[in-house]
Structure 1
Amino acid sequence: MTAPVAEIDVNLDLVARLLRAQQPDLADRPLRLVANGWDNTIVRLGDDLCVRLPRRQVAVQLLVNEQRWLPTIATHLPLSVPTPVRLGVPGEGYPWPWSVCRWFEGEIASMVPVVERRAVAAELAEFMNRLHVPAPDDAPANPVRGVPLVVRDEQIQDRLTSGKLDREDELRDLWDELRAAPEWTGPKVWLHGDPHPANLVLRGQPATLAAVLDFGDLTAGDPATDLAAAWLVFDAEGRAAFRAGIEADEATWRRARAWALAIGTAIAVFADIHPGLADAGEHAINQVLSAD
């Protein structure tokens, strides 16, 4: 497997030209390439801002969703999120919208020892509780997040028989058990959609949760998708602290474990492309297979 090829070469010269044309008051700030991700390029802009630009057409609507909805959602959240502070439009040969967002100082949780992440379990639980409120009918649709587990079954079964994962037999048996959990019958609630540790910024010692990043998978549906963080981010002790702060019944908790299996195995399968997440994938698999 290889990462998708960029459809647009996003380089510092292009970003500088876009800023001069559309945000001239920011144009004199130094630029530094931070990441060429799966879907977006991130360029740091001075000390406190960054520029987020899609590098593939498929990512454009995800960025538009963030631009439209995060300013509203952020008003009832207890933590910082990457709400755009400036909106960019096509120009200078670049065909898509783009955003200027705040830069959050801290350390990505996937790079922090698991025992130190326990300190943020209650904060993350409160964030989830505040995020998971009923969403409007025109909330962004997402075919792979917030949906009934049966919708994901074929894809997950293919992944668990691919030969690319360790302990596939155990994972397949567990998936078959967990996907039988009763479906969510409550209202569709707002979801982050991708609650793995690389999307959390921690700060200080003991750690506090400084920000939750990357709302590209933003959608509405079953809150169990986001509660997968219990296994993706924490160990058993941290998970217990997280659950103590979560408003979820047993069926939702079972579905959350299934979502952790789904997201964790995806991370593991793509570990060669995103080596920084290799440990996160292994951690997730070990946690979902542990007695719980």
Structure 2
Amino acid sequence: MRMHAGQLDVSLDMARALVDEQFPQWRGLPVRAQATHGTVNAIFRIGDHLAARFPLAACDVASLEAEAQAARELAAGTDVPTPEPVAIGGPGAGYPSPWSVQTWLPGAVATGRDPGESAAFARDLAGFVRDVRAIDTRGRTFSGKGRGGDLASHDAWVERCLRQSEQLLDVPRLRRLWADLRSLPDNPGGELMTHGDLMPGNLLVADGSLAGVLDVGGLAPADPALDLIGAWHLFEAGPRQAFREALGCGDVEWERGRAWAFEQSMGLVWYYVETNPVMSRIGRRTLERIVAAETAP
């Protein structure tokens, strides 16, 4: 079932043909579809060490080159394994967009290997966020697009989500909560580098530890509280507090992280309720944690 209007179809035969035509050095390697709950790319393994990423919405080469540069920058700035760019392919075999190849990282995604009760995993993730924040912005600033800037600029989107969720969630309560969250003061620390999407599906678990971080092309300057969304998407109260203490978050920063997690989760619940139930459940669970924190002593 398609998740998005105008979503591109990518079959195994297409992926095989594109690899064979454009990268003949990999013709001898098996190509196989990788089941994921992602919403941006279709993923195909190439052998044991590579992954082809086919955007579900048409993009241009410049955007994939920017993602590759972000991936290189992140790989150089943290000790946690992250995918490294290998190649960019072009349209063909019935697929109309450029696509990319990265290194494959082993590990189980956190959607299936839930680390929600693990304070050790929470401290691992906090260490990764610290590393990302230490990357030099080199004068870059928030692009103005997406999450990571002014909370109130998302009012129209949140209101749309609330209207779409009237049969799914306690909308009056959530509307009151957003009214408080969107009025939070600006983060006193200014902009820092952020990963931007620390969702369970972008985190790899092995032996109870953080084994890798995926979807790294969004590395960019933003409100540093943006990367606190992982605390709400992943952890129950105890490990979430361990994450906060490891980063030394003040009250404003912590609440802004809760606000960004709220904004993202409101969209997940209704938008994917039929087409990607796992993502919808993640959003619902995150909202439950956010509401529970509001009432906790």
TM norm. shorter chain > 0.5: yes
Q: Which residue of 1 aligns with 2:185?
A: 182
Q: Distance between the aligned counterparts of 2:63 and 2:172, measured in 1?
A: 35
Q: In structure 2, do the counterparts of structure 1 residues 86 and 174 end up closer, same or farther at CA, with 3 Å as the change threshold?
A: same
TM-score (norm 1): 0.88
Q: How many residues align?
A: 290
In the other structure, the counterpart of 1:277 is: 279
Alignment partner, residue 168 of structure 1: 171
Shift of 1:116: 4.5
Corresponding residue for 2:51? 50
What residue number does 2:4 align with?
Answer: 4
Partners of 1:145 and 1:219 within 8 A in 2: no
In the aligned structure 1, how far is the partner of 2:223 from the partner of 2:201?
A: 22
User: Matched residue of 1:85: which SS?
Assistant: strand
Contact in 1 for aligned 2:109/2:201 (Cα 8 Å): yes
- Distance change in 2, residues 1:131/1:240 (3 Å): same
Write the distance in 2 (CA, Å) between the matches of 1:140 and 1:25. Answer: 39
State the secondary structure of the residue aligned to 1:3: coil
What are the ranges of 5 or more consecutive residues in structure 1 without an aligned counterpart?
none
From the superposition, tell whether residues 2 and 55 of structure 1 become closer, same or farther in structure 2 (CA, over 3 Å). closer
Q: 1:14 to 1:137 in 2, by over 3 A?
A: farther
Give the secondary-structure state (helix, strand or coil) at the position aligned to 1:211. strand
Q: Is the 8 A contact 1:87 1:97 kept in 2?
A: yes
1:231 corresponds to 2:232: yes
CA distance 1:169–1:2, shift in 2 (3 Å): farther
Give the match's secondary structure for 1:101: strand
Structure-2 separation of matches of 1:181 and 1:101: 39
Deviates more, 1:56-65 or 1:96-105: 56-65
Counterparts of 1:215 and 1:27 in 2: how far apart (Å)?
A: 27
Change beyond 3 A, Cα 1:107–1:151: same
What is the SS of the residue equivalent to 1:57? coil
Structure 2: 5+ residue stretches without partners:
none
In 2: Cα distance, 1:15 partner to 1:256 partner: 38
Conserved? CA contact 2:58–2:96, under 8 Å: no
- Counterparts of 2:123 and 2:66 in 1: how far apart (Å)? 28
Which amino acid is 2:101 matched to?
V
CA deviation string 1:55-106 (max 9, x = no partner): 3225866533321221122101121112212332445564433222122222
C-alpha distance after superposition, 1:150-208 (max 9, x if no partner): 1112211232233143122222222211222111354432222222211111112xx11
> Is residue 66–residue 83 contact of structure 1 (8 Å, CA) maintained in 2?
no
Q: Which residue is 1:241 aligned to?
A: 242
C-alpha distance 92-138 of structure 1, shift in aligned 2 (>3 A)? farther
Q: Distance in 2 between matches of 1:161 and 1:90?
A: 39
Does structure 2 conserve the Cα–Cα contact (< 8 Å) formed by 1:195 and 1:226?
yes
**1:155 alignment partner in structure 2:** 157
Contact 2:31–2:46 (CA under 8 A) maintained in structure 1:
yes
TM-score (norm 2): 0.87
